[in-house]
Each structure stands twice: as C-alpha cells, then as structure tokens.
Amino acid sequence: MILLIFLVAGSASFIAPHDPGKTNVSFKLKSPSFQHLLGTDQLGRDVFSRMLHGSRISLSVGFVAVAISIFIGILVGAMAGYYGRWVDSILMRFVDIMLCFPTFFLILTVVALLGPSIFNIMLVIGITSWMGTSRFVRAEFLSLRERDFVQAAKALGMGDRRIIFRHILPNGLAPVFVTATLDVATAILVEAGLSFLGFGVQPPAPSWGNILTEGRTYIFDAWWLTLFPGFAILITVLSFNLLGEGLRDALDPRLRGRR
C-alpha cells in the first residue's frame, strides 16, 4: 500500500486528469462521475486531481519533518548515552521539559508566529517531535557503550566521534527505524490537522487537510469533499503504522522468539 501511495504521488502530474488549480464555477459541487471521478469542489476544481497533487505535499511534510526530528533525536540521544553523567543529566532534563509542552499547541503557536508555509510546517513538526527518538537512542547507547567492541576501539585510540558514529550508532538504529516509520504517520496527521485549522498549507496549493477544510462547509451537500481526503489520510496513516509494527516485530529478537 505504501509503495502504491508513493507511485501515485510521484506520477501525480501524469495521471491527474485535470489541472488541480483550474476553476470552473459551472461545474461546482458536482458529484462523482466519469468526468470527475471524485467530484468537484465549490470552485469547480477536480477533487481527484487535487488529492493526487496533495499527496505529494502530505508525504513531503511527513518525511522531511521526520528527517529533522531523527537527526536531532540521534544527536541528543547519542551524546547523552555515550558520555553519561552530567551531560546525560542536562540533556535528559531538557527532554523532560520539552515533553511537558502540549506538542500540537506548541506547533500552532510557532506556526502562528512564523507564518503558515510548507517549510515552516516541516521545520516546526521536526523540532517538536524528536524527544522519543532521543530516548530510544540513549537507551541503546547506554547498553552498547559497555560492549567489548567499544572498549577495543577505545583501547586502539579512536576518537569519540568515530566510536559514536562508526561503531555504536549502526548497531543501535533498529528502534530508530521503527520510530521514524511511526513518526511519518504522526507528521502527516499533524499537517492535516494544521491545514484543517487554516495554519497549514495555504490555498490554492492542495493538501488533504485543506481539502477537508474546504469541504467542511458543504458536508451535507457535498459529502465527497470530506469522505475521500479523510479516507486517504486514514489509509496512509494506517499503512505506516502497520509498517512500523511489522518492523518492530522483525527487528526485535525477543518477539521473534515468541513465535
């Protein structure tokens, strides 16, 4: 399903039957038909074409935001887990402080101050969702730093940077992959929520969230404006969640042993 979603998003320009930004008020709020597979919106724009192009934005926000959060989380978790002591105490107290803030309201506040744009949304979601990754990485580093291969690397005179990034980190990335997959689903949901509230991707650029927002006014007259983008968000988020669960089962030897 995820491969299909990527294929559709990548080829949106070729398979979209209409220009997603072209308006035609004579075709406004038309129900699904052969000409408009998912109907039209209040400006006569083809919903199917807008959803295809909107998938690019939703996936881009999800992956770029997660890349930012994974980078920050790995950096903070690696430093805390490898050096320990006062470095660990300071960094983990900072993580605890970040966890005290309601994430979605913090994102709303920052986006309201910076202004709604795709770049700001990616950046804000990324810098407010790295705390879980940092805790996973820290736990792996606390376990791996006492292993024989790390002690041998220290005995050979290798620097901390080389030990962290060449020896410990590759052995502690399994939980990071699982977290990243689940975080992509969360980021897509957050972007859809921000767009729904008007703080996300701004019209006329299409995203699943702002298509839902535009359909809210016509929910009883044009059900397709809320059903289809909502279903797309559901399927995408569910697919990434199931992938994350599958990766966790595959990469955790304890779960494999129970089978």
Say if CB 189 and CB 174 are below 8 A apart: no
107 lies in some domain: yes
Judge whether residue 201 has pLDDT over 80: no
- The strand pairing partners of 46, in sequence order, are 40
Structure tokens given for 30: 């038309």
* pLDDT value at residue 253: 55
- 118, part of any domain: yes
CB 140 within 8 A of CB 179: no
How many Å apart are CA 185 and CA 240, to the nearest integer? Answer: 6
Q: DSSP letter at 20? A: T
Average of per-residue pLDDT across 157-177? 80
State pLDDT tens for residues 98-131: 888 777 787 888 777 877 778 888 888 888 888 8
- Residue 121 belongs to some domain of the structure: yes
Joined tokens for residue 245: 């669960």
Between 249 and 97, the higher pLDDT residue: 97
Q: What are phi and psi of 32, to 5 degrees?
A: -55, 135
Q: Compute the distance between CA of residue 160 and CA of residue 153 in angstroms, rounded to an integer.
A: 9
User: Is 146 part of any domain?
Assistant: yes
Give the type of residue at 95: V
Look at the alpha carbons of 118, 120, 123, 128 in this order and tell me if their dihedral is positive or negative: negative
Would you call 3 helix, strand, or coil by DSSP? helix
pLDDT at residue 71, rounded to an integer: 92
User: What values do phi and psi take at 147, rounded to 5?
Assistant: -70, 160
Mean pLDDT of the chain: 83
Three-state DSSP class for residue 30: coil
User: What is the model's pLDDT at position 153?
Assistant: 81
Domain that holds residue 198: 50-225+233-258
Task: Give pTM, 2 decimals.
Answer: 0.81
Has residue 252 got a pLDDT over 80?
no
Looking at residue 166, the DSSP 8-state letter turns out to be I
pLDDT score at 116? 75
Q: How high is the pLDDT of residue 254?
A: 53
On whether residue 72 sits in a domain, the answer given is: yes
Residue 76 neighbours by CB under 8 Å, 6+ apart? 91, 94, 95, 130, 134, 137, 138
**pLDDT band at 189; cut points 50, 70, 90:** confident
DSSP designation for 173? -
pLDDT(39) > 80: yes
- Total structural domains within the chain: 1
Q: Specify if 4 maps to a domain.
A: no
At 176, which CATH number? Answer: 1.10.3720.10
Contact 194, 209 (CB under 8 A): yes
Instruction: Report if residue 154 sits inside a domain.
Output: yes
Question: Residue 39 falls within a domain, yes or no?
Answer: no
Average pLDDT over residues 28-48: 87
User: What backbone phi and psi angles, to 5 degrees, belong to 157?
Assistant: 85, 15
